[in-house]
Amino acid sequence: APKTAASRLEHRLEGLGGVTVGVLALHTVLVDAYIALDDLDGANGSLQAIESVAAATGSVRHEGEALFAKGKLLRANGDGAAAQILRLAARTLSEASMALPACRARMELARTLAGADKPVAISEARAALAAFDRLGAAPDADAAAAFLRELGVHGRTGPKNLEVLTKREREVLRLVAQGFSNGEIAERLFISVKTAGHHVSNILAKL
């Protein structure tokens, strides 16, 4: 439940101290928990912490996470700028090789546009669904498919042609699905960043 999650995360943050890179992941989850609880002040506090980390590191990844959190909060506030920020978040996260968070940002964008621009919302959701299926992110894919059904759209497709991937490519795909960048994939698999990028390119081409 969001209330329990928020309480546990707050307790964990108390033990970690100030705003550092190490607390960023906790604050990104807290933004969602606070929004679910309709505690927008709490969500804004976590957003400010994320933005502080992003400003300090200058990391594209952290910038994308800050934009995503901001877009979700703007949407919760009914702010018309939410769609623009979420679109930028999806692009920034994609540039940081964070495929899964980028797709989630696209889904948030689709939900934001559902009332104002249904065709674009459907297009974004379809693209996100296809990507979720390719990444093997089943819960996200199911949620995207349910959203499309709510808009009167069908045509769900599951992951296909996974058998054409090598064992190493499947290992890389699992890490991509978890939101790891090429550099992080390289570190975990003890390969070069160039090789990790090559595997990702092959996966995309095959699927």
The two most distant CA atoms of the chain are separated, in Å, by 48
Please give the chain's pLDDT, 207 residues, in tens.
777 877 877 777 776 666 567 788 888 999 999 999 999 999 999 999 999 999 999 999 999 999 999 999 999 999 999 999 999 999 999 999 899 999 999 999 999 999 999 999 999 999 899 888 888 888 999 999 999 999 998 755 545 555 678 888 888 988 888 888 888 899 889 999 999 988 888 888 777
The residue to which tokens 């607390």 are assigned? 23
pTM over 0.85: no
